[in-house]
């Protein structure tokens, strides 16, 4: 058992903070001494550990209270839950990094800010990566969403720049003849970047193409937009007609 002073000393959490957590019912001591001094047991320490982890990840105290009160986990389960939350937070931060890098390159190539994407990035600060992908659940299953997230996280800054350049070149040539050699070259370059990022997983690529054809505004496939998709579709159709 730990007195509030000993718990404070061992964890670095001030007595004032522990008092406040007790006051709002976030972490209550399991018992008290005959003299009324609060005593914390090992389960209380684990609860404090969970609270601090969640607080570090940006959850409000109200949200934390709901989370820790909604489960009766063992120590091992509690640690695994925290690891899972940390993994999701890493994914979210990585997607934020990639999105901000993409916006930076977009400004460099196009000379303007895409405010729609900026607003989507602001939303990403407040929600999980999985929530961002939910708008494509009719086209991508959970495993495919996970693969896209993982592949996106592995993209280097150089890969991102090449991807942005390939799409920017298409955006700058939307009015050219889809049957022209230049149009074929632009789409081939785009396809090379897609294969570089996602390999030869034909099922995933097919489902991603279906998702792209039903593209929603957002950062999932940024900087792809409907104009780029329509251009690529026209080039594909023209190529088929010429066979």
130 and 225 assigned to the same domain: yes
SS3 91: helix
Q: For the chain, first and last CA: distance in Å?
A: 80
24, 47, 72 - which closes a domain: 72
Same-domain check for residues 61 and 107: no
Q: Are residues 9 and 116 in the same domain?
A: no
Flag whether 137 is in a domain.
yes
In a domain, 122, yes or no: yes
Task: Return the structure tokens found at 209.
Answer: 């193409």
- Which pLDDT tens digits describe the chain residue by residue (243 residues)? 889 999 999 889 999 999 999 999 999 998 888 888 899 998 888 889 888 888 887 778 888 888 888 765 566 676 777 788 788 888 878 878 877 887 787 777 777 777 777 777 776 666 677 777 788 888 888 888 888 877 877 888 888 889 889 999 999 999 999 999 999 999 999 999 988 888 878 898 889 888 888 876 667 787 888 899 999 999 988 877 665
CB under 8 A, 24+ apart: contacts of 184-191: 184/235, 184/239, 186/235, 187/231, 187/232, 187/235, 187/236, 190/166, 190/232
Domain of 141?
Answer: 86-241
Q: Are residues 23 and 141 in the same domain?
A: no
Same domain, 32 and 120: no
**Residues 63, 129: one domain?**
no
Rounded to an integer, what distance in angstroms lies between the CA atom of residue 177 and that of residue 175? 7
**Domain membership flag for residue 219:** yes
Residue with tokens 């900026």: 118
CA distance 178 to 6: 73
Rounded to 5°, angle at Cα 67 from 18 and 21:
10
Which residue among 23, 46, 72 closes a domain?
72
């Amino acid at each position: 058992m730990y007195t509030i002073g000993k718990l404070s000393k061992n964890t670095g959490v001030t007595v004032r903070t522990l008092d406040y957590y007790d006051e709002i019912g976030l972490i209550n001591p399991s018992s008290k001494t005959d003299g009324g001094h609060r005593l914390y047991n090992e389960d209380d320490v684990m609860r404090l550990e969970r609270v601090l982890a969640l607080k570090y990840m940006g959850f409000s105290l109200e949200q934390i209270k709901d989370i820790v009160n909604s489960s009766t986990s063992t120590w091992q389960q509690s640690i695994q839950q925290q690891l899972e939350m940390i993994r999701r937070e890493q994914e979210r931060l990585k997607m934020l990094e990639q999105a901000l890098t993409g916006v930076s390159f977009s400004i460099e190539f196009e000379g303007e800010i895409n405010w729609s994407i900026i607003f989507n990035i602001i939303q990403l600060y407040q929600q999980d990566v999985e929530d961002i992908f939910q708008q494509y659940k009719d086209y991508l299953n959970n495993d495919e969403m996970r693969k896209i997230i993982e592949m996106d996280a592995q993209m280097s800054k150089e890969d991102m720049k090449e991807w942005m350049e390939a799409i920017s070149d298409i955006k700058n040539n939307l009015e050219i003849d889809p049957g022209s050699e230049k149009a074929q070259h632009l789409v081939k370059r785009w396809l090379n970047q897609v294969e570089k990022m996602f390999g030869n997983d034909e099922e995933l690529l097919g489902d991603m193409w279906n998702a792209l054809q039903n593209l929603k505004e957002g950062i999932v496939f940024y900087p792809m937009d409907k104009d780029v998709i329509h251009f690529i579709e026209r080039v594909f159709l023209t190529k088929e007609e010429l066979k």
